[in-house]
Structure formats: structure tokens, C-alpha cells
Amino acid sequence: MATLTKRATIYFDTDLHKALRLKSVETSRSVSELVNEAVKEALAEDAEDLKTFDERACEPLISYEEMLKRLKKDGRI
């Protein structure tokens, strides 16, 4: 089954484009495949972050200063 795709023009930094082309050759995958995979991963990570934010929405807020005190007390800084 063919996947429907949509064409878009993206302007890459010269060095980034060169790196993508090299990776494309080394992995036998198209630049489009590499970019699609990277975008999917970034969106999935964003979705995971949003889920975590929602899960922690009811947690009490503490100030930056209070967090520093806790870290010092626990010997982390």
C-alpha cells in the first residue's frame, strides 16, 4: 500500500544539508526518509512531554530558591 505524501520545500543550513546527504548515502535511505523520521521522533517526544506535564499538573509548585535549598540539603550541589 502506497503512503500518501505531501511535497514541501525546506531550506537547510549548508553543513546540515551536507550531513544529511552523507547519512543518506551511508544508510541507503533518502533525505526525505531521514527528515520524516526525525520530525516524527521530535513530535513523539513533544507528545510525551505534554503527557508528563498533564500528569504532574496537580503537584505543588516550589520556588527556585527552595529547590536549591533541597539540592544542597541532599548533597547534590
**Boundaries of every domain in the chain:** 14-73
Rounded CA separation 77/74 (Å): 8
State pLDDT tens for residues 46-76.
999 999 999 999 999 999 999 999 999 999 9
State pLDDT tens for residues 34-46.
999 999 999 999 9
- pLDDT value at residue 19: 98
- Tell me what the mean pLDDT of segment 7-18 comes to: 97
Count the alpha carbons within 13 Å of 24 in the hemisphere toward its beta carbon: 13
- Tell me what the mean pLDDT of segment 10-14 comes to: 97
- pLDDT value at residue 75: 95
